[in-house]
Amino acid sequence: MVKRSRILGCGSYLPANIVTNDDLAKRVDTSDEWIVQRTGIRSRHLAAEGELTSDLALAAAVRALEHAGVEPGSIDCIVLATTTPDNTFPATATKVQAALGAKGFALDIQAVCSGFIYALSIADNFIRTGQAKRALVIGAETFSRLLDWSDRTTCVLFGDGAGAVVLEGYDGNGNAGDRGVLSAHLHSDGSQYDLLYVDGGVSATGTAGHVRMQGQEVFRHAVSKLSSVVEEALVANGLEPAAIDWLVPHQANQRIIDGIARKLKLSTDKVVLTVDRHGNTSAASIPLALSEAVHDGRIKRGDLILMEAIGGGLAWGSALVRW
């Protein structure tokens, strides 16, 4: 028998404020056509004034717990992936922990758009080693607070939101037929640091800063690195692409997602897409998409799900999960 962590439930939250491409065209030199052609994005949700990352995370967490049918007090580990914490310290996860009345320990992790994959892997390892029995994994961002609204190459791409899953340990058989997290694969390359970064920080400038990106270079790295890490996940589990029921990718760019689907020979109706309505919500994008597909009935018990993401760092990763 092998200790595994299965997903008991998931939940999500999006701020009420929806901003369309036409809305942005009134603020910056852009157009709906320009944005859609390059990214596939048509609208995104932006947090209201005073609406914090912890507020989004808490709302998604409550819905995930309700879907899982478990009490907050049974959670002994919270891992929150975010690039936009409420405060420099303490961890935003501890605010969520207090609001829920959860026990155990809580921590933030920062891997930008790959944050949810990293957080899922960390929580899975806590469960596998016996440090936690039941974990709450959250991806939450108020990424709009990092945007330079005069830079049309970045401000049109991002949105705010949160998604969460509840993990629970159980004894599996140790093969690809098990439920839950089968494997996760993490990578980073700090030599590509300047391709996607924020030009501020506590130590550097004492400010939050704004997102800066070399878009074409990020796109090039995304295609090659995501293809490689997807293959790594399949090989690790002795599976062929045909075994995948659903691709739930990081929602950054429609063209990148389409390219990965083609390499896997997956039809478009097996790819969960929210980028058109959510934009890039960084660490929140995968759990938002996962929650949508679970709750609308597309993803069913026993389905094999491939998740993948790449973001600043550069940091990237993949995970294979059986629902």
Catalytic residues: 113, 250, 280
Residue 318: other Cβ atoms inside 10 A:
28
Residue 207: other Cβ atoms inside 10 A:
11
Tell me how many helices (H) and strands (E) the chain has. Answer: 10, 13
The CB-side HSE value for 223 (13 A sphere, CA atoms) comes to 12
CA distance 254 to 272: 11
Per the document, the length of the chain is: 323
| Prior bond of 264 cis (ω within 30°) | no
The CB-side HSE value for 176 (13 A sphere, CA atoms) comes to 16
CB 251 within 8 A of CB 278: yes
Contacts of 98 (CB under 8 A, 6+ apart): none
Which residues pair with residue 201 across a beta bridge? 207
Compute the radius of gyration of the chain from its Cα atoms.
Answer: 18
CA distance 275 to 285: 8
CA distance 96 to 259: 37
CB 120 within 8 A of CB 183: no
- At 269, give phi and psi (nearest 5°): -80, 0
Residue 28: other Cβ atoms inside 10 A:
14
